[in-house]
Amino acid sequence: MRASSTEAVSPRQVPLGPIYAALFVQVLINTGTYLAGKRAMEELPPVTVVLWRFLLSATVFCLLLLFTPGPKLPPRSEWRRVLMLGLLAGPINQMLFFYGLSHSTASHAALLYALTPLGVYLVSLARGHERPSSRATLGILTALAGVVVLLLGRGLASARGSLLGDLLILAAVSAWVVYTTEGKPFAAAHGPLRSTAWSMVAAAVLLLPVTPFALEPGRTFSASLSALGSIAYLAILTSVVAYLIWYYALSKVPASRVAIFSNLQPATTALAAWLLLGESLHWGLALGGGLVIAGVRLTQSAPLAPVPPRALEEMVEAPVLEDSGRARG
């Protein structure tokens, strides 16, 4: 798959304030995702929660596509990539994440997801999507150091979680890294709404084979309002709003600068756990949170290298691809 030209374009060519504000909202939504996921799985199996989440979100996206001008289906040349993104987002990432979360804690899952920016940056460098930047590297390492401080501040024993849960969540993080790097050129070519909708609908379709065994409508509808509300939160806010923001940001700025916002989640999750679950705050939150914010700032302010000739060619080709998609839709 070819890289999108927008990886090499300086984000200073677009207004960054609204993009970063939207990403902060996405961080807050994802903070609630950890808590909502834990609450829903108190009454329902992980596979049932994931299945309802994607069936509901796919329904919402189908309605959005129905009332949005333009193609409703991806061009046939992109079906393979849509299925791949759907596979990464649904059966792989979310199944691994929820099963891992059921064996671990919300705060520790957030800590492991803080590895996302490092993975995205390394993959983007390896594929030539981005140029090396000492400031970006320093920013990612600074934010990662902040995550380590948060972990130490809580105490390794309380934040460790089970080995099985850790390994499953780490595998989910790896899938999310690939989803982010592969999704960026797709979002640049087709726009955030269609890119997100097509991948989420594909995820739901790929999960259909387990529906007869895992949907459990009787058990689901007899669950508490709190558990049902948690599933609605996961389906609407996480799978629709947060994913749309993620793809919107990916269509505008380099993937590593989008992914670095994942480093904010350990701090926001700790605060949410304090407010909603009564967990105590600790010295590491202030220091680690400060390092994370400094790292995010360093990464966002890192200068980008000039656009390479191949990227310039792809800039011209991307709009052509989108027009082709409209014609086939």
Structural domains in the chain (count) = 1
Instruction: Answer whether residue 138 is part of any domain.
Output: yes
The per-residue pLDDT for range 249-306, each reduced to its tens digit, is 888 888 777 877 877 777 787 777 677 766 566 666 667 767 776 776 776 666 654 4
Instruction: Answer whether residue 42 is part of any domain.
Output: yes
| Coil vs helix vs strand at 22 | helix
Question: Helix 163-190 vs helix 79-87: angle between axes, to the nearest 10 degrees?
Answer: 150
The per-residue pLDDT for range 89-125, each reduced to its tens digit, is 888 998 999 998 888 777 667 777 777 777 787 787 7
Write down the pLDDT at residue 62: 95
Instruction: Answer whether residue 122 is part of any domain.
Output: yes
Instruction: Answer whether residue 100 is part of any domain.
Output: yes
Instruction: Answer whether residue 172 is part of any domain.
Output: yes
- Report residue 149 as tokens: 């401080």
Instruction: Answer whether residue 181 is part of any domain.
Output: yes
Instruction: Answer whether residue 3 is part of any domain.
Output: no
Instruction: Answer whether residue 12 is part of any domain.
Output: no
Cα separation, 109 vs 246, whole angstroms: 19
Single-letter residue type at 267: A
- The domain of 147 spans 18-328
Residue with the larger pLDDT of the pair 192 and 311: 192
Cα separation, 66 vs 294, whole angstroms: 42
